[in-house]
Amino acid sequence: MGSDVPRTVVVATGNAHKVAEIQAALDVANLTFVAASELQGGWVGPEEDGETFEANARIKARAAFERFGMPALADDSGLEVDALDGEPGVHSRYYAGPCATDEENNARLLLALRDVPHTERSARFRSTLVLVNEDGSELVATGTCEGAIGFEPRGENGFGYDPLFFPAATPGVTMAELSMVEKNAISHRGAALRELRRLLAGGE
């Protein structure tokens, strides 16, 4: 994907927030991104039954590549809480059930941590990106963001567990209280996207 010819990359998601973050962070001049759900025929994501973030990202990227016949990018990310032995981890999206909302997932997390003191609520967001090129080759990039879980939701920006997560890089402020620019500068997905940008530019 090193050519200067403009290319469209399908993002294997229906999450507009995620596509907006990717477009804002991965500012490669010849790439534009579109959500799979916006393309003709729509998008029903495959079963994400991998045991790691990379496995799930690959499942989604490959499915979108085969479905639309164009370069495809997928992210799998989640929250790892040390006091919960790394949970919810790869189950972050469905932590409170297969149709859970962000609010329900956050409520379950707070319940699971109800007796855990502030000093033991360390956690991290982790992200893995898999990009499948036109020829079927892959680029894989990862990123993490260390922090801690609060005691109640704060902030209106972001999505998922952002209202509960206090990044170590922004003391006293949740991920959901940051602007998109501020979030991309320190987030797990921002770190993964910067790594992917480096790989696209030919970095080793």
Task: Identify whether 32 is part of a domain.
Answer: yes
For residue 28, the number of C-alpha atoms closer than 13 Å in the C-beta half-sphere is 25
Catalytic residue among 4, 27, 75, 76: 76
The answer to the question of residue 164 being in a domain is yes
Q: What is the pLDDT of residues 38-91, one digit of tens each?
A: 887 777 888 888 999 999 999 999 999 999 999 999 999 999 999 999 999 999
**Domain CATH for 133:** 3.90.950.10
Task: Give pLDDT tens digits for 150-176.
Answer: 999 999 988 899 999 999 999 999 999
Q: Spell out the residues 6+ positions from residue 114 whose beta carbon is closer than 8 angstroms to its own.
A: none
Band (pLDDT 50/70/90 cuts) for residue 15 is confident
Domain for residue 79, yes or no?
yes
In a domain? residue 151: yes
> Is residue 2, in this structure, part of any structural domain at all?
no
Domain that includes residue 162, residue range: 7-200
The percentage of residues in the chain with a pLDDT greater than 90, rounded to a whole number, is 67
Q: Which residues contact 7 (CB under 8 A, 6 or more apart)?
A: 1, 30, 31, 32, 71
Position 159 in a domain: yes
Q: Is the peptide bond before 88 cis (omega within 30 degrees of 0)?
A: yes
Q: How confident is the model at residue 5 (pLDDT cuts 50, 70, 90)?
A: low
Residue 7, strand partner residues: 31
Q: How many domains does the chain have?
A: 1
Q: What angle do CA 62, 68, 73 make, to 5 degrees?
A: 45
Catalytic annotation present for 76 = yes
How many CA atoms are closer than 13 Å to the CA of 200, on its beta-carbon side? 25
The candidate with the shortest Cα–Cα distance to 105, out of 163, 187, 166, 57, is 163
